[in-house]
Chains A and B, each alone.
Chain A
Amino acid sequence: MIEFKQVSKRYGTKHALKEVSFSLPTGKVIGIIGENGSGKSTTLKLIAGLAKPSSGEILVNGKAASRRISQIVSYLSESDGFYPFFSVGDMVDYSHSQFADFRPEKANEILSFMKLDRSQKIKNLSKGNRGRLKIVLTLARDVPIILMDEPLSGLDPLVRDSIIKGLISFIDIEKQTVLITTHEIEEVEPILDTMVAIKDGRVICIQDVEELRIQEKAGILDWMKKVYQEG
C-alpha cells in the first residue's frame, strides 16, 4: 500500500505538493491526473524515492520511501536515460543485473510483443521504439508497485495503442499496483480502476472510475472539464 502523511514538497519557494495525505488501494491501475505543473510527476518521484519530501512521510508497503525503495518499485521516467551505444539486449541485460526480481524470460516475451529485436542499437531506435523499450524494462520485473510517468507522451497513436495493450497483457493485477500519470486521458481511461486528481499541489479527489460513471454519468474527461474549469 502507498501512504502519504502530511506530505509537502517545495522546489525553492514553489510548492509542488501541499500537506497531502492519502492512501491508495492495491491491485489496481491508478491514474494520476491533473494539469501541467499540478504535482503529478512529483508525486511519482516521491513514491520512487527519487525526491525527498520537504516535510511529512511516505510509506510504500510499510517502508519509508528512499532510494532503496527501488527494490519494490519499478519506475518508468518520462525521459529516457539509455546509453546510445547499448543494444536493446545490452539494456535488458543491464536491468537484469540491477534488479533481483527482473525476469529475463518475461522481458523477451514483452520484447517480441513490442516487435523489438535484442540486436538493435538504441541510437538507431525511433522515439516510439524507445518508448516501447522503456515499457519492456519496467514491466519485466516481478515487483509489487509499478510507476509510469507519462508513458504515452509524444508518441504516435499506434505506439500508444501497443503500449496500452502491453500494459494489459503483462501486468499481474492480482499482485501488482500500477500508477500512471498521463495527459492522454481518453486512451488510458478504459484501463483505469481508480483516479487520483491533483490540482495546485493538492489531491482533490480519489475515486473509483466505474463509480464515477455510475454516480455522475460522466467519464474522467467530462469530470475534469467540470471541476478544473470551475477554478
Chain B
Amino acid sequence: MGEEFNPSKPIYLQLIERISHQIVRKELSAGEKLPSVREMAISSGVNPNTVQRTYSELERMGIVETRRGQGTFVTEEENILSSLRENLKEKQVIQFINDMREMGYSDREMVEGLQEYLQKEGDTKHD
C-alpha cells in the first residue's frame, strides 16, 4: 500500500508532495502519463475522490495537464518544471533553517556545518 500518510495533514497535499518529488527525481519525466485516478487510488490506498482532488490541484498549478480521453500527463513546460525544482529546494532549506534556529544555532554555524559535512562526505568518497 506504499508509504503511510500522516493522518493529521490533508492527504491530497501529501499526494501532491509525493508526485512533485517523483517529478523532481525524474521518476516521472516531462510528458509522462500519470496512473489513472483509480490506479493511483489503489496503489496509494486512498479514496478516488482524494486522487481526483490531487490531480485537479496539480493541474491548477500547471504541473500536470489532462488531455480529454487520454489521461493526465506531466507538463513539458521547462519553466514550470524548473520552478517546481526550485520550490522544493527552498522548502527544504527553510525547514532546515527553522529547525536549526529553533535549536539555537547561528547562521554562521549552519553554513560552516554544511560546508564541513559536504567536505567530509567528499573526502570519504574520494578515498
- Return chain B residues, CB-CB under 8 Å to A164: 45
Chain A residues touching B, majority SS? helix
- Return chain A residues, CB-CB under 8 Å to B66: none
- Return chain B residues, CB-CB under 8 Å to A168: 38, 41-42, 45-48
**Chain A minimum-CB-distance residue to B48:** A173
A230 to B90, CA, bound (A): 41
Could you tell me if A191 and B1 are in contact, using CB atoms closer than 8 angstroms?
Answer: no
Could you tell me if A222 and B50 are in contact, using CB atoms closer than 8 angstroms?
Answer: no
A188 to B76, CA, bound (A): 36
Interface residue? B122 (CB, 8 A): no
**Chain B minimum-CB-distance residue to A221:** B7
Could you tell me if A165 and B45 are in contact, using CB atoms closer than 8 angstroms?
Answer: yes
Interface size class, chain B: 10 to 19
A186 to B6, CA, bound (A): 10
Q: Mark B3-17, 1 if CB is under 8 A from A, else 0.
A: 001111111100000
Closest CB in chain A relative to B17 CB, distance in Å: 14
Interface size class, chain A: 20 to 34
- Return chain A residues, CB-CB under 8 Å to B11: 190, 210, 213
B residues lining the A interface (CB < 8 Å): 1, 5-12, 38, 41-42, 45-50, 53
For this complex, 17 residue pairs linking A to B, each with C-beta atoms less than 8 Å apart, are A27-B49, A29-B47, A164-B45, A165-B45, A168-B42, A168-B45, A168-B46, A168-B48, A173-B47, A186-B7, A190-B5, A192-B47, A214-B10, A217-B9, A219-B6, A219-B7, A219-B8
A residues lining the B interface (CB < 8 Å): 27-29, 161, 164-165, 168-169, 173, 186, 189-193, 210, 213-214, 217-222
